[in-house]
Amino acid sequence: MNNNLSKTKKIIISAFCLSLALVMGRFKIMLFGGSVKLTFGGIFYRFASIILGSIYGFVIAFLSEMLSAILNPMGNYIFLLSVTEGLQGLFVGLIWNLLDKVGFAKKKLLKLCIAVSIPGLLTSFANSFILKHYLLWADEIFWGTVVLRLEKEVIMILINVFILRIMLNIYEKNINRGK
C-alpha cells in the first residue's frame, strides 16, 4: 500500500497491530461441538502485512502466535506453529504486492481474497501436518482434522476479507486525507 511511512510510524503501527492481535486472539467462538475455534487476532497481522510489508507481517504474526501461547497456554508450545503463522503473515504481504505488479491494483476485493485465502489454506494444512507428527495421530484422525481445519479456515477467510476491506478503506481514506 504505502511504503512511504517513516520507521517510527511503522513501529507504532506494528506495536498497535501486535497488541490488538494478542487481545482479540483471546476471544474465541466455538463451532462443531467445540472441536473448532474461531479466533480474530490474525486480522491485525494480515492488515500490517498489507500496509507495512511482508517482513512486518511475518514478525507480528510470529510474535502474536508465540506470545499468545505463553500468555494463554492451551497445552505444549510448538515452535513450528509460530513459524507457520509467521510465514502466513509473510505470504499475505508478498501475494498482495505480487498481485499489484501483475495488474490487480484496481481489483482490491479479488486481490484481498487471493492474498488472504492462499496463505490461510496452506497454513491450516501445514499446521494439521505438524500436529499429526507431533501428536502421533493416525491417518483417519489426521484427515478428519484437516477437513475441520479447512472448514474453519474458509469461515475465517470470509470474516477476514470482510473486516480487512473495511479496515483498508478507512486506512486509505485517512492516508489520502493527510496528503
122-145 per-position pLDDT tens digit: 999 999 889 888 888 888 888 888
Of the chain, the percentage scoring pLDDT greater than 70 comes to: 94
Q: Average pLDDT for residues 15-29, to the nearest whole number? A: 92
Tell me, what's the pLDDT at 148?
Answer: 84
Q: Look at residue 28 and tell me whether its pLDDT is greater than 90.
A: no
123-146 in b/e burial notation, b at 16+ Cβ within 10 A?
A: bbebbbbbbbeeeebeeeebeebb
Which runs of consecutive H residues, i.e. helices, occur in the chain?
7-24, 42-52, 54-71, 79-101, 108-135, 139-178
Tell me, what's the pLDDT at 3?
Answer: 55
SS3 38: strand
Q: Look at residue 178 and tell me whether its pLDDT is greater than 70.
A: no
Q: Average pLDDT for residues 91-113, to the nearest whole number? A: 91
Tell me, what's the pLDDT at 106?
Answer: 80
Tell me, what's the pLDDT at 144?
Answer: 83
Which pTM was predicted? 0.89
**For residues 115 and 96, is the Cβ–Cβ distance under 8 A?**
yes
Q: Average pLDDT for residues 105-113, to the nearest whole number? A: 89
Residue 163: pLDDT band (50, 70, 90) is very high
Rounded to 5°, the CA angle 166-169-174 comes to 125
Tell me, what's the pLDDT at 112?
Answer: 95
Euclidean distance between CA atoms 32 and 111, whole angstroms: 30
Q: Average pLDDT for residues 21-32, to the nearest whole number? A: 86
Of the chain, the percentage scoring pLDDT greater than 90 comes to: 58
The mean of the pLDDT values for the chain is 89
Cα dist from 144 to 93, 129, 139, 151, 153, whole Å:
30, 12, 9, 11, 14
Euclidean distance between CA atoms 130 and 38, whole angstroms: 19
Q: Average pLDDT for residues 134-159, to the nearest whole number? A: 87
Assign a CATH topology to domain 7-178: Arp2/3 complex 21 kDa subunit ARPC3 (1.10.1760)
Q: Look at residue 2 and tell me whether its pLDDT is greater than 60.
A: no
SS3 78: coil
